Structure 1
Amino acid sequence: MNAPSAVPSASNAPTRFADIKGRTIAYREIGTGPALILCVRFRGILDSWDPAFLDSLACHFHVITFDYSGLGQSTGSPSYRPERLASDAIDLADALGLRQFIIGGWSLGGIAAQVVAAQIPDRISHVALIGTSPPGRLDPPSEPIFLQTALKPINDLADETILFFEPASASSREAAANSHQRIAARSESRSPAIPPETYLRLLQERAGEDIFADTNGYNTFLANCGIPILVITGDHEIVFPAPNWFALSRVWKSLHLLVLPQMGHGPQHEVPEMAADIIATFVRNRAKQPMA
């Protein structure tokens, strides 16, 4: 009698490849239910997500993660322009035959997710954003320690604690260490880290630009689109400070804003099960409305 195969999880799911428009997108999928495509952060790859968060999401959703074009295990020309990142998510959804799906994203990936929603609103049921920015200039801006830390060639646990957690909190420091260990546990088919020369070049290509310039009417669209939008952020968010969302709370008609105490840029890695449950409850209980 053959032994049963392991249940696919974030730690053992195979890396698959979709040939799309002259490039190959590396992706993984786990879980069943409504499709949820997640766009990753700056310098992020398939193995930048905390497996505990993905596995918790997989109890409710068909979770799909991927490497952007030209980064990680994907081929093609890389870019950090939001529209280019969004095209990767849309093209992957097309390749997988997903007519309707939830789009989610963390940090830079959250910006890409908003562009996806604006470009194909009829196909998006919900938007789930973590530690990210609305369209327009940041006010207040990122804290200087973000770039000082994020641009190091290698980020160790101390750097990750600064970047994604709340260093002033003992419980957050402990959560950082636990998340670091979970992420490092996968040994098979890991995506390679993005070389400094690559991410520095991609940043230089956007020098002087707002991280999410509202040049295509994104703010007006998202304010009135009727797609339920969830934003989860920490109260000490050093990259995209939470107050950037406050003025939108009565402007974006379907915005749901949750600020978690004593957390930083990666609350889904600090409280992975809680973050996944919040997203699942949000999707179950909020329905898309006609555009205002």
Structure 2
Amino acid sequence: MNIQQISAITSPTDYLTMNGRTLAYRTMGEGRPIILCHRFRGVMDLWDPAFLDALVGQGFQVIVFDYTGLGLSDGTPSYNPIDMAADPRDLIAGLGLSDVVLGGWSLGGMAAQAALMLYPERISHLALLGTTPPGDLVKLAEQLFYDIAGKESYSIEDITALFFEPKSEKSRAAAVRSQARIEARKQDLSPPVPLEFARPVLAHGPRSPAFPAEPVLQMLKTTQVPILHIAGDHDIIFPVENWYALNEVLPSVTLVTFPRSGHGPQHEHPQLAADIIASFVRNQ
């Protein structure tokens, strides 16, 4: 199959063995590489295909993967963002990539920030989605996230509450469309993240800081690497207000906030989010 004809729904799974474990990944498109780090309980199949395909259409080589020990990857899993940053590092090295844009959604955004601290020379830009900055917060998560996120499976109502804005008719409709696109992939699926691994992360409930990593915060205050953060204005887990509280402190961070949107802005606005990322990378 011609690489330009591979979509997120049809992209085959490849494997990279490095540093004692094997990472499962998929790649689609050609051009500037962008590696995407997933959310809590996320595996490769749970990216909205419309968002991935829109990035391909903008001239990116899009790479998604399952974290060590989760999905189709083996090894010992960890939800410590510092540990998680080893996965994109090894993908960059193992695939011989350069000039890499590193993206991250939610927990994956923490891993992407940690990666920029650990190996800045390998990353040209960060493209963050619905995540949190390190350090003390001005607004905490809502308990609703913790009540839903540990369920065995998510109904469309749960998905809407977690990643969209239930108060908006347009956002509710976008949730249904996004989930239909995600469910269109029927083969070569990643196993879900085991609940016994994920649930302990939720035990603490809302807290500040959500990302207790002072060295990462100090890096953000000094780095010149361009950083984009796209968010919804009602994110129940990582309120965007915590980024705006750092105005004039983070010299390279650009904030884009979608109105009447939630924790998954790139799933509600897949084409627009991809367009913004592409324009940011071209012009920053």
Shorter-chain TM-score tier? over 0.9
Q: TM-score, normalised by structure 2?
A: 0.95
Deviation at residue 213 of structure 1 after TM alignment = 0.8
Aligned to 1:63: 62
| d(CA) in 1 for partners of 2:3, 2:281 | 31
- Report the CA distance between 1:100 and its aligned residue: 2.7
Structure 1: which amino acid aligns with 2:127?
A: A
Match of 2:187 in 1: 188
Q: Which amino acid aligns with 1:195?
A: P
8 Å Cα contact 1:136-1:210 kept in structure 2:
yes
Question: Equivalent residue for 1:106?
Answer: 105
CA–CA separation in structure 2 for the residues paired with 1:205 and 1:170: 32
Q: Which residue of 1 aligns with 2:50?
A: 52
Does residue 126 of the first structure (1) align with residue 125 of the second (2)?
yes
CA distance in 1 between counterparts of 2:248 and 2:131 reads 18
The CA deviation string for residues 30-75 of structure 1, in whole angstroms up to 9 with x for no partner, is 1111110100000000011000000000122111000001100000
User: Is 2:71 the partner of 1:72?
Assistant: yes
Distance in 2, matches of 1:173 and 1:206, equals 26
Residue aligning to 1:278? 276
Residue 224 of structure 2: aligned partner: 226
Whether 2:155 is the aligned partner of 1:159: answer no
Tell me, yes or no, if the aligned pair for 1:130 and 1:266 is still in contact at 8 Å.
Answer: yes
In structure 1, give the amino acid aligned to 2:16: A
Instruction: State the secondary structure of the residue aligned to 1:36.
Output: strand
* Higher deviation after alignment, 4-13 or 128-137: 4-13
Counterpart of 2:83?
84
- How far residue 161 of structure 1 moved from its aligned partner, in angstroms, is 0.1
CA deviation string 1:119-158 (max 9, x = no partner)? 1111111100000000113331100000101111111111
Q: Is the alpha carbon distance of 1:53 and 1:211 closer, same or farther for their aligned partners in structure 2, counting shifts above 3 Å?
A: same
2:235 to 237, 240, 257: 237
Instruction: Provide the secondary structure at the position in 2 that maps to 1:76.
Output: coil
Does 2:25 correspond to 1:27? yes
Question: What CA distance in whole angstroms lies between the structure 2 residues aligned with 1:214 and 1:156?
Answer: 33
Partners of 1:6 and 1:220 in 2: CA distance: 40
Q: What is the deviation of 1:205? A: 10
Q: Residue 140 of structure 2 corresponds to which residue in structure 1?
A: 141
On the 8 A contact 2:143/2:206 being kept in 1, the answer is no
What is the Cα-based RMSD across aligned positions, in Å?
2.0
- Return closer, same or farther for 1:70/1:224 CA change in 2, 3 Å cut-off: same
Instruction: State the SS of the aligned residue for 1:112.
Output: helix
SS in 1 for 2:218: helix
- TM-score, normalization by structure 1: 0.93
Show CA shifts across 1:232-263 (max 9, x none): 01000111001100122211111100111000
Q: Distance in 2 between matches of 1:143 and 1:157?
A: 19
Which residue in 1 is equivalent to 2:173?
174
Match of 2:253 in 1: 255
Letter in 2 for 1:21: N
Q: Which residue of 1 aligns with 2:9?
A: 11
Structure 1, unaligned stretches of length 5 or more? 287-292
Offset at residue 22 of structure 1 (A):
1.2
Shift of 1:201: 4.3
Greater CA deviation, 60-69 or 246-255?
246-255
CA distance in 1, matches of 2:90, 2:39: 19
Change (3 A) 1:4 1:70: closer
- 2:45 alignment partner AA: D
Q: Which runs of 5+ in 2 are unaligned?
A: none
- Tell me how far 1:283 sits from its aligned partner: 0.3
CA distance in 2, matches of 1:171, 1:202: 31
Contact 2:129 2:230 in 1 (8 A): yes
Q: State, as a whole percentage, how many aligned pairs show the same letter.
A: 48
**SS at the partner of 2:93?**
helix
